[in-house]
Structure 1
Amino acid sequence: MATFELTRSDNGEFHFNFLDNNEKTILRSEQYGSKAAAQNGIESVRSNAGNDERYEYRESSAGKFYFNLKAANGQIVGTSMMYDDDAARRTAAATVKSSAAQAGVIEDL
C-alpha cells in the first residue's frame, strides 16, 4: 500500500515522501518549519492528486523527466524523482493520482 513517510531532518525541519507499494519514493515535499505544516502538505497532496490540472510535467537540464504537483493556488506541494523517460514519469504520476487520497502516514521522527 502506498504511504506518506513524514520525517524530521537534523536541523529540525520536517518533510514527507510519497512511497509506492514497493516503498520506492515517487514524490518529495519541500522542508517545513513544523510538523503541522508538513501534515498540511500531505493533505494538500491527497486533495490535489486526483486533478490532472495540478500536474506540471517538466524536463531537467540534464534531460531527465519529472513532475510537480501543485495546489489550487499554484504552489508546488511535491516534486517527483527524476525519470529516464516520459513513460516512467507518467506511470509515477498515475500512481500518485490513484493512491495518494487513501495513503496512510508513517512517522519517522
Structure 2
Amino acid sequence: MSKELRPYKPTHPGEVLKDELLSRKITQKKFAESISIPYTELNEVLNSKRPISANLALMLEAALGIKAYIWINMQSRYDLEMARRDKSCKLKIEEIQKVCAGFLL
C-alpha cells in the first residue's frame, strides 16, 4: 500500500446531493416524494449514513439529469478512500503484501 498522504476529508456523494438540492431549492421531503423513496432513507444518504446504490443513482439521473455513473463513481471513490483509512483494512493489506511479495515478480 502506498505511503501517500491523505490530508483531505473524503466527500460522501450524499453531501454533493444535499448541495444540489439546496441549489435547486428542492426540499428533502419533496424530493423523496418525487423519487418515491422514504424521507428517512434520503436523509440518511444526505447525512453520509447510507451509500448511493445503483438504483438510487438511476433515480437521481431521472430526477436531476446527473448521470448515474457519476453518482456511482463518487460512491466508489468514497468507499475506497474510507477503506484505505480503516486501520484493520490497512493491517490486512500490509500482511497480504508481505505474504504475496514473491508473486510480484
**TM-score, normalising length: structure 2:** 0.28
Structure with a larger share of its residues in strand: 1
Q: TM-score, normalised by structure 1?
A: 0.27
